[in-house]
Amino acid sequence: MAGFVAAFRTSIQENTIENMLDTMAYRGRDYRHHLRDGALEMGYLGMDLGYAFDRKEICQREKTTVLLTGYVNNVDEVRAYAEKRGVAESSSLTPAEAIAVLYEIEGTEVASVLKGGYVVLIYNKETGALIVFRDRFAVQPVYYYQTKDGGIVFSS
């Protein structure tokens, strides 16, 4: 199990994300990430399951920040897709890195390539846009709340 919380374009008290992570600590007792990037603040709780991509759920690039929670079943297919799009060293990309790179090339079309049970948050630093999508069968839940100042707070 794992979990995330995030706030986008809203003012929250300084320790809100950490307090939210503490409340749901049972969802990922082995490690946590906390990230502030422009209008986005998010936290992630993970469990060390011996999976090759444990502790690699967040990818930060110059133009894009990606959080991938859940699992991508077709990692090799996603890497091959990236290679066809001209991405060098695609065979060594983590799923979060592959999503970030493909988003920068193709935009939201990256969602059509993924298979599994996941939630993906993509923060486009250039446009200030946040994109959230999940697997086709909604295996991974996303709960959200629009704040009075027009922002969004959401979690798994």
3-state secondary structure of 15: coil
Say how many residues make up the chain.
Answer: 156
Residue 118 corresponds to which tokens in the numbers above?
A: 């996941």
Q: Which amino acid is at 49?
A: L
How many whole angstroms separate alpha carbon 12 and alpha carbon 3?
Answer: 19
C-beta of residue 10 within 8 angstroms of C-beta of residue 149: yes
**If residue 101 lies in a helix (H) or strand (E), which one and from where to where?**
helix 95-106
Q: What is the pLDDT of residue 109?
A: 92
- pTM for this structure? 0.89
Residue 54 has a pLDDT of 66
Q: What is the mean pLDDT of each run of 10 residues along the chain (156 residues)?
A: 90 90 88 90 86 79 93 90 88 91 92 93 95 89 92 92
